[in-house]
Structure 1
Amino acid sequence: MIPSDAPRAAGALAGTAPGPALAGRTGYDPQFLGVPVPLPMPVDPAVETVVLPYTHFTVVLRPDRRMAAAAAVCIDGARRPADGPAAEVPPEGGWRCDPRLAGDRQAGDAVYRDNSLDKGQLVHPLAPGWGGAAEADRARADTFHYPNAAPQADVVNRARQVWQGLEKHLLDHAARHDRRLAVLTGPVLHDSDPPYRGVQVPLRFWKVAAFRRPDGVPAATAYVLDQSPDLIWDAERALAGATPGAPPPLGAFRTFQVPVTDVAELTSLDLGPLPAADLLPAARTPQERWRRLRSLDDIVLRHR
């Protein structure tokens, strides 16, 4: 694995000059936990990326896919203000493209207009919304830039509620214990993802939460959300049956707690020290390796 602090190849962009609307954004802090948790970057240095810093979070965008390979957010539970009724509402003007990036290198409104696809926010508005009032508001507003979204099915089922509840569960846990968290997340980008309106729709999403235990030792847990077509049917046949001009058929969501190493393998991202800090016990059999979550009570947050 390439070390997280290794120089990137010429094909990987370290970032772009900030536009006036996003000037001064410092983004995700790899030292936020007091132990290094680097920004997730592709293991293959030939993969082009653009690093986009926002307030308290950063998006690592893949221009070839026009969406993020990863996003990383710092959460300070001790400095979270009370969530007002408009905390999760887009700012005036709604969703917008990042002015630091050409429009054809990010998936904008045309991908989501007049269809059943949701804008799946990678970094939830409440996650970076801490600090002073103006700082928290700016962070929440920053999450409504298109690089922080990826297409998700609008299917509402319990597994999706578990995935969405997971974010709040992590936020509440941080606030209750005045704890700092680093949360890494993104879509699983595969070459076989179905095409639609100039992008490929990811069929899985991932999330890794990192924090320090009371003894100072780093800990991590990982999760996968699967929106693949119904596995009763052959996935290729299901996707081949898509209606021309319509989004690809997607299945009901399934949420799993998984080994951090599996996320690293699925995404080909360098997750630094987090695989070694995993709290999910080693599975005895392959069938037990991915722990299906039907409620938040199923999450394992400590070694047994």
Structure 2
Amino acid sequence: MSIIHVNNSQRLNKELVAMQQQQALNRYMERSKEREQTVKDLQTKNPFEVGKPERVIFRKSRINPRNGLALERIIRKNDLFPISYLEAGLKAAKPICRIEVRDSIGRVLGYGTGFLVSPSLLLTNNHVLENEEAALFSLAQFNYELDLNYKERESKNFRFAPQRFFMTNQKLDFTLVAVDEVSGSGTHLSDFGYLPLKPQKGKALEGEHVSIVQHPSGAPKAIAIRENKITDIFEDFVHYETDTLEGSSGSAVFNDEWEVIALHHAGVRNPNDPSTFIANEGIRISSILQYIMEHYADLSDEQRKFLDYLSRGWEFTDKKREDILVEDLGLDWYKGTTGYDPKFLGSEYEVPHPTLRPDLEQDIALLKNGSKELDYTHFSIVMSKSRRLAFYTVVNIDGAKLIRLKREKKWHFDPRIDEKYQCGPELYKNNPLDRGHLVRRLDPVWGETAAKANKDTFHFTNCSPQHKHFNQKTWLDLEDYLLHHAENFNLTGTVFTGPIFRSDDMIYRGVQIPADFWKIAVIVKKGSGLSVTGYLQSQKNLINNLEFAYGKYKTFQVPIVRIEALTGLDFGNLRNHDPIGQLESTIGLVIDTFEDIIL
């Protein structure tokens, strides 16, 4: 068996290719044990049983209901295809081209592969077209293939137009570049069509087979069809094996529906025999598109027009946000508000406020009447003077009475404490920082006072600066899970949430931005009393550069005592009801899916 890998013997930047191959090998080795278990699972189960639930659900949704053999094919019960599969493959191969990499005086430096993803944009590897200058002198050669008589068809050469659109990233090893609409011979680029890209994850499962259309070593177009099994899926990358000859950088990796799932870019060398390869690596299309979405706001209006076809159905988050509307509610709004109820779960399960370490106690921003807790509808908050953010929040949730209401548009300072202890709109304007709700907006919105609770969550006291990708994805995944179970099973619960204050937290606009956040969920399990679980998530790799941050993060279920040590809060008896309270690990349990949570 020979493994498809990147042939760069003619490329100048060999150091970059070597680095990418080493990174691919590192990822391969890190997953060795997990991959061995997955292989064993796939020998006894089908990919739908082995894959992550959300990925499996999306994968099934991609299958045409008229394709009755598709499910059986994925679980390896049947390898039959409709004859139209070959026709669809020919159509998918048409937008794929050879890239002839040239220097400024026309010398050929090497070859790669690329493919059109819109009527005017082409996708390839960063190490094929590293910069605008490389693209300016290189050619996209379409129709470079053999006909039925094994004679070369007439290829069509197109110039790149990097001055009109060029986006590249070395970490994800991709380049997206504009192509001239007409070739030197008068052929229109539109004659070759394009491959639409889908931003959703889950377009393939471990154990499934993929096909790769390529220009191997710069030769006429070829295909490695279906003899390429996916062996591992990472956050940004996918590994697969194949029985074929050398391939080319920038090839399109397809699933059986001829959807592009990855951009091929590197081979994984055998650490015991560097002359052979043990796997291949592609960059997940979902990760590339996520990067493009995140940098959409950095583009000019003319550049954005190039993404019109590519981005249909996408959701962009623009860093140039609308002005934050601020409303003064007046002191009368807060009259009669009792806040968090410690006996909400029952008098026998009283859950009091945590106590603060003596030095933190001195840092509490007291209300003008001298009390410590800011009481809102169904939740309460204790604020820090020095950090101008909450030490913690705590909320009562009644799953049987939850009401879905629309988001408020206005935010509020709380007049019961000095405004200087509250971070207002000046912190969040024109950057990727979200006003991250600490008490989730939906949690206290239940019962007759739901509307008041909904508005109460839009206080600056209830938000903490969170990078938009942390707030909109990571934390919400966990909050959705907790709320879903409360709502579906009519549960009542208590949830504590807050940031972790560290002395070395980054200072931005005069505010130290917390890098980590914690959450403690308290429920009553039938027949076994309280169950208390703690969670920790970090946005540290997202806030190092607030203007251009990009990264991934993990969720951990951690012992309550670890949260206490990190925050200086004492939750008293709650730690005795923690199912992982005796866990020896100082990190905790990684939560990849919510089935990993121990209640």
Corresponding residue number in structure 1 for 2:118 = none
State the shift of 1:249 in Å: 5.8
Corresponding residue number in structure 1 for 2:415 = 99
CA contact (8 A) 1:183 1:210 kept: yes
Amino acid at match of 1:224: L
Counterpart secondary structure, 1:80: coil
Corresponding residue number in structure 2 for 1:90 = 408
State the shift of 1:156 in Å: 5.9
| Residues in 2 aligned to 1:300 and 1:22: alpha-carbon distance in whole angstroms | 38
Counterpart secondary structure, 1:78: coil
* CA deviations over 1:20-63 (Å, ceiling 9, x no partner): 22222111011111212112331224332442110000011111
* Matched-pair identity in %: 36
Counterpart secondary structure, 1:69: strand
State the shift of 1:283 in Å: 3.0
Instruction: Tell me whether 200-209 or 71-80 shows the greater mean CA deviation.
Output: 71-80
CA contact (8 A) 1:162 1:295 kept: no
* CA deviations over 1:128-166 (Å, ceiling 9, x no partner): 00112xx10110110000010001112369xx6342122
Judging changes above 3 Å, is the alpha-carbon distance between structure 1 residues 198 and 276 closer, same or farther for their aligned structure 2 residues? same
Judging changes above 3 Å, is the alpha-carbon distance between structure 1 residues 156 and 56 closer, same or farther for their aligned structure 2 residues? closer
Corresponding residue number in structure 2 for 1:190 = 502
CA contact (8 A) 1:257 1:290 kept: yes
Amino acid at match of 1:19: L
| Residues in 1 aligned to 2:557 and 2:430: alpha-carbon distance in whole angstroms | 33
Amino acid at match of 1:199: V
Corresponding residue number in structure 2 for 1:137 = 451
Counterpart secondary structure, 2:442: coil
Corresponding residue number in structure 1 for 2:354 = 40
| Residues in 2 aligned to 1:156 and 1:224: alpha-carbon distance in whole angstroms | 12
Corresponding residue number in structure 1 for 2:433 = 117
CA contact (8 A) 1:255 1:294 kept: yes
Instruction: Tell me whether 188-197 or 123-132 shows the greater mean CA deviation.
Output: 188-197
1:260 aligns with 2:582: no
Amino acid at match of 1:202: P
State the shift of 1:281 in Å: 6.1
State the shift of 1:77 in Å: 1.4
Corresponding residue number in structure 1 for 2:331 = 19
Corresponding residue number in structure 2 for 1:223 = 535
| Residues in 1 aligned to 2:462 and 2:439: alpha-carbon distance in whole angstroms | 7
Match of 2:379 among 57, 70, 80: 57
| Residues in 1 aligned to 2:596 and 2:394: alpha-carbon distance in whole angstroms | 24
1:150 aligns with 2:464: yes
Judging changes above 3 Å, is the alpha-carbon distance between structure 1 residues 264 and 56 closer, same or farther for their aligned structure 2 residues? same
1:179 aligns with 2:491: yes
1:299 aligns with 2:597: yes
Corresponding residue number in structure 1 for 2:513 = 201
CA contact (8 A) 1:124 1:167 kept: yes
Over aligned residue pairs, what C-alpha RMSD do you find? 2.3
State the shift of 1:275 in Å: 1.0
CA contact (8 A) 1:162 1:296 kept: no
Amino acid at match of 2:420: D
| Residues in 2 aligned to 1:283 and 1:71: alpha-carbon distance in whole angstroms | 26
Where do 1:160-175 residues align within 5 Å? 161-175=473-487
| Residues in 1 aligned to 2:557 and 2:506: alpha-carbon distance in whole angstroms | 25
Counterpart secondary structure, 2:504: coil
Judging changes above 3 Å, is the alpha-carbon distance between structure 1 residues 192 and 156 closer, same or farther for their aligned structure 2 residues? closer
| Residues in 2 aligned to 1:220 and 1:96: alpha-carbon distance in whole angstroms | 32
* CA deviations over 1:233-272 (Å, ceiling 9, x no partner): xxxxx95xx5xxx679685332111111101111000112
- The alignment's TM-score, normalised by the length of structure 2, stands at 0.41
CA contact (8 A) 2:395 2:443 kept: yes
1:80 aligns with 2:402: yes
Counterpart secondary structure, 1:225: strand
CA contact (8 A) 1:40 1:184 kept: no
**Structure with greater Cα Rg:** 2
Judging changes above 3 Å, is the alpha-carbon distance between structure 1 residues 113 and 279 closer, same or farther for their aligned structure 2 residues? same
Match of 1:71 among 352, 368, 393: 393
Judging changes above 3 Å, is the alpha-carbon distance between structure 1 residues 266 and 276 closer, same or farther for their aligned structure 2 residues? same
CA contact (8 A) 2:345 2:493 kept: yes
Counterpart secondary structure, 1:273: helix
- The alignment's TM-score, normalised by the length of structure 1, stands at 0.79
| Residues in 1 aligned to 2:584 and 2:553: alpha-carbon distance in whole angstroms | 26
Corresponding residue number in structure 1 for 2:524 = 212
Unmatched segments (≥5 aa) in structure 1: 1-17, 231-237
Corresponding residue number in structure 2 for 1:279 = 579
Corresponding residue number in structure 2 for 1:10 = none
CA contact (8 A) 2:541 2:553 kept: no
Instruction: Give the paired residue count.
Output: 260
Corresponding residue number in structure 2 for 1:13 = none
State the shift of 1:285 in Å: 4.6
Unmatched segments (≥5 aa) in structure 2: 1-329, 367-372
Counterpart secondary structure, 2:469: coil
* CA deviations over 1:92-119 (Å, ceiling 9, x no partner): xx11211212221100101101111111
